[in-house]
Chains A and B, each alone.
Chain A
Amino acid sequence: MTPLLIAQIALTLFVFVMLLNSAAVMVYVERKVAALLQQRLGPYLVGPKGMLQPLADVIKLMFKEELRPRAADPILFALAPIISATAAFAAFAVVPFGAETTFFGLLREPLKLQVADVNVAVLVIFAVTSMGVYGIVLAGWSSNSKYSLLGGLRSSAQMISYELSYGLALAGVLLIGNSLSLTDLVNGQSGVWLGFIPRWFVFLQPIGFLIFMTAGIAETNRAPFDFPEAEQELVAGYHTEYSSMSFAMFFLAEYINMVTVSAVAADLFLGGWHGPFLPVSLGWVWFLIKVGALLFFYVWMRWTLPRYRYDQLMAFGWKVLLPVSVINLLVTAAGVLYFGYVP
């Protein structure tokens, strides 16, 4: 075992634990921000300022009874939450979150702050995300309940519809950055224009960024696009029949997916770990700040906008978002052809 390999394994474990942690932190942030926006206090009893509330929630979930409807398909019912959670964790594997570092000379060779550096990283994220749909669809079908089935069907229709715009918004960035590797794309955004504007792709792809964030909200089934679990219509949608830890897995997957989408957006559009004032070795601080800001945006959206109607969602996806992203891609391609690649 070389020191580099040990460091790589440690890093992988670290990312796994941090993703779990981020879900807990996001639950707390979500409840606090919701309280703030609704002029309530939010959780304040468990721990200082209620900060241990997520822990209490997890313990509560663990001690609940694991229920399964008698008419449910036992294998798929158990498999569905596992697929959801696995896909959520796996997608983060190719996301870089900092520049290469030797940990202040601790390692002889520099270590990439990324679980796996794949040269088609963007496509891998896309592939793993599309696998996550199965968790929701199967949960809906295997529960053998009308609310669950409708939630699962809605979710698959929604995710298929918005995946197109999501992919086309990414394609614009890939064209400008001339690479499919996230590390290369982030490194293409170092430096500044005119001395003060950071060379982030968001300034070249403002429409692409908006499309990406909108489609990202739909992909992660968050409000205002949370149709798979619209409580007024479907009780709780695809996870109506789930309880205890299998429900917690869906919950976890939703928050980790949010973190992944925000991390990818930070890497592709906001320059990843590049930013002023900090040395390159502390770039991950910038990355955390950007991801945190995007996650706050997510929570803010959820508690500000009411849910759309389902037909509005479909019409918006196919008749507005898709044409706009196609035009955005065409204009970007023409620009790249005329001006050349950016880096």
Chain B
Amino acid sequence: MNETAFYLFGAIAIGASLLVIAQRNPIYSVLLLIASFGALSGLYVLLDAPFVAVIQIIVYAGAIMVLFLFVVMLLNAPHEDTEYDERVHPLLRQGPMRIGAVLALALGAELWWALAKGAESGAFPGAAVTSVNVIGRSLFTDYAFPFEVTSVLILVAMVGAVVLARRDGPRDRRDRGEA
């Protein structure tokens, strides 16, 4: 039963993730990414971590992807712009494709390291962290510093977004009739 569910969710997660990058229509990409997050959440349930599963849905599939969808819909880009030459193989194209290839290689190396060495390093306690109480306690005691650093990072990103979005040049002031 559990094994069947694992393979089902795993297949959905991988299939949906592959389809995300195979899609030309960004709306479909966003929706497939949501499906992939849903399947991941199912895998968390199978790992006996219902809290993480629900948070995955609320934060990623719920909040973040709604904003993604919002932006894609506002941009109203029905299809991806293809500035590069269609006839050249994707791996041989110039520009962003190369950065993508480097990032993919880095991700592969990280994955290999995590799978091969991560378990040995003992970074994660072996005991099942199922209850919210346990998660909260370890988050605010043992992992208090990383937690606070992450929140500062998010704050910086928020301030950055506000600064970038705020247009307060002389032209905008003139538009508002102040100058």
Question: Any chain A CB within 8 A of the CB of B39?
Answer: no
Q: Is the CB of B51 within 8 A of A120?
A: yes
**Looking at the complex, which one of B57, B67, B73, B132 makes contact with A127 (CB distance below 8 Å)?**
B57
For B57, the chain A residues whose CB sits under 8 A away are: 127, 130-131
Contacts of A234 in B (CB 8 A): none
Q: Is the CB of A153 within 8 A of B66?
A: no
Q: Number of contacting residues on A, CB 8 A? A: 26
A124, B51: Cα distance in complex, Å: 9
**Which label, helix, strand, loop or mixed, suits the secondary structure of the B interface?**
helix
Among the listed B34, B61, B69, B132, which residue makes an inter-chain contact with A156, where contact means beta carbons less than 8 Å apart?
Answer: B69
For the complex, what is the distance from the CA of A141 to the CA of B73, rounded to whole Å?
7
In the complex the two chains form, is A141's CB within 8 Å of B27's CB? yes
Q: With an 8 A cutoff between CB atoms, is A72 at the interface?
A: no
B27: which A residues are within 8 A, CB to CB?
A: 73, 76, 141
Complex: chain A residue closest to B131, CB-CB: A119
**Please, how many residues of chain B have a CB less than 8 angstroms from a CB on the other chain?**
20
Closest beta carbon of chain B to A53's beta carbon, Å: 36
Closest chain A residue to B25, Cβ basis: A73
Interface contact A134-B132, CB-CB below 8 Å: no
Task: List chain B residues, Cβ under 8 A from A149.
Answer: 73
Which residues from 31 to 80 on chain B have a C-beta closer than 8 Å to any C-beta of chain A?
A: 31, 34, 50-51, 54-55, 57-58, 61-63, 66-67, 69-70, 73-74
The dominant DSSP class at the A interface is: helix
Residues of B within 8 A of A152 (CB): 73
Distance between Cα atoms of A140 and B27 in the complex (Å):
13
Contact in complex: B132, A126 (CB < 8 Å): no
Report yes or no: B132 in contact with A153, Cβ–Cβ below 8 A. Answer: no
Q: A294 on the interface (CB 8 Å rule)? A: no
Quick check: B62 and A130 within 8 Å, CB to CB? yes
Q: Are A137 and B50 in contact (CB under 8 A)?
A: no
Identify the interface centre among B50, B61, B62, B69: most chain A CB within 10 Å of its CB.
Answer: B62
Q: Which residues of A contact B34 (CB under 8 A)?
A: 134
For residue A15, CB closer than 8 A to chain B, the reply is no
The CA-CA distance from A159 to B31 in the complex, in Å, is 18
Neighbour of B66 across the interface among A73, A123, A130, A180, CB < 8 A: A130
List of 4 A-B pairs having minimum Cβ-Cβ separation, nearest first: A130-B62, A127-B57, A123-B54, A127-B58
Q: A126-B58, A141-B69 are in contact. List 16 more A-B contacts (CB 8 A).
A: A73-B27, A76-B31, A127-B61, A130-B57, A130-B61, A130-B62, A130-B63, A131-B61, A134-B31, A134-B34, A134-B66, A134-B69, A140-B73, A141-B27, A149-B73, A153-B70
A interface residues, Cβ below 8 angstroms from B: 73, 76, 118-120, 123-124, 126-127, 130-131, 133-134, 137-138, 140-141, 149, 152-153, 156-157, 159-160, 163, 180
